[in-house]
Amino acid sequence: MKRRIKRLIPAATAALALSLVAGTASADETKTIAENASADEQFSTLVAALTAADLVGPFDACDDPKTTVFAPTNEAFEAAFAALGVTAEDVLANTELLTTILTYHVVSGEVPAATVVTLDSATTLQGEDVTIAVEGDSVVLNGSVNVIATDVANCNGIIHVIDGVLLPPSVAASLTEATTTDMPTTGGDTGTLTLLAAGLVGAGALGLLGTRRVRTARVTDR
């Protein structure tokens, strides 16, 4: 019981802190995730990526199954592009890799901040888990990506805003093995953006993704 209480205290603190910054993204609760993201300039790159990967459909109707989207901002994508000096157009042309990365940012069902902070991980539509940790008054995904706004309500789900791009562990591991000797130095404070940048232009990256199937997601409370 004492151990559970100790865990709930920082989780409650993080939930409160996150609720205070939830106003940094806006939405009309009567509209869809796709509509609200399209109307918010900070998500223009995300919307372009979803469109390029033909993934707008699952998020553009109020009667769609509810989902929770961890949405990277334009700045998060720009940092990834800058790591190798590539353009958004270069990245958007790689639709198979985009699909894998984008579906790794989506969880089935509505998972509000109050639930997120009680979880160790969540299984994504891509099929692999995103790890979740409460660090002080912050919630950190995969050890490096911060949740910066929460509970942006839409008629078909929830958006949580994040400051980095998440990479599926299997892709990260494959890219690490394949590109260790060619990995660029980015000066960034996480390996996530470096691996993403390498993967977006790395030789053979598409071969890793060709037979991947999107599976029904579940949220795991360990």
What's the mean pLDDT when you consider all of the chain?
75
pLDDT band at residue 83 under the 50/70/90 scheme: low
Alpha-carbon distance 200 to 64, whole Å? 30
- The model's pLDDT over 201-221, given as tens digits with 9 standing for 90+, comes to 332 333 333 223 333 334 444
Whether the pLDDT of residue 61 is over 90: the answer is yes
- Do residues 190 and 172 touch, judged by C-beta distance below 8 A? no
Which of residues 206 and 100 earns the better pLDDT score? Answer: 100
Q: What pLDDT is attached to residue 85? A: 61
pLDDT at 75: 94
C-beta neighbour count of 135 within 10 angstroms: 11
Separation CA 133–CA 140 (nearest Å): 5
Residue 4 and residue 222: Cα distance in Å, rounded? 12
Using the Cα atoms of residue 185, residue 186, residue 192 and residue 196 in order, give the sign of their dihedral: negative
pLDDT single digits (tens) 102-126: 999 999 999 999 999 999 999 999 9
DSSP assignment of 106-136 equals: EEES---HHHHTT-SEEEBTTSSEEEEEEET
pLDDT of residue 20: 39
Handedness of CA 204, 194, 50, 14 (dihedral sign): positive
Q: Please state, in angstroms and rounded to a whole number, the distance separating the CA atoms of residues 36 and 38.
A: 5
CB 170 within 8 A of CB 181: no
For the chain, the structural domain boundaries read: 2-166
Across the range 172-193, mean pLDDT stands at 49
pLDDT band at 55 (very low <50, low <70, confident <90, very high): very high
Helix (H) or strand (E) segment spanning residue 157: strand 157-162
Of residues 49 and 197, more confidently modeled:
49
Give the number of other Cβ atoms within 10 Å of residue 146's Cβ.
Answer: 14
User: Tell me: the pLDDT tens digits for 131-180?
Assistant: 999 998 899 999 999 999 999 999 999 999 999 989 888 877 765 555 55
Per CATH, the homologous superfamily of domain 2-166 is FAS1 domain (2.30.180.10)
**Higher-confidence residue: 115 or 90?**
115
Which of these, 220, 28, 222, lies nearest to 111 by C-alpha position?
220
Q: Is 8 exposed, middle or buried (0-12, 13-18, 19+ CB in 10 A)?
A: middle
- Supply the pLDDT for residue 184: 44
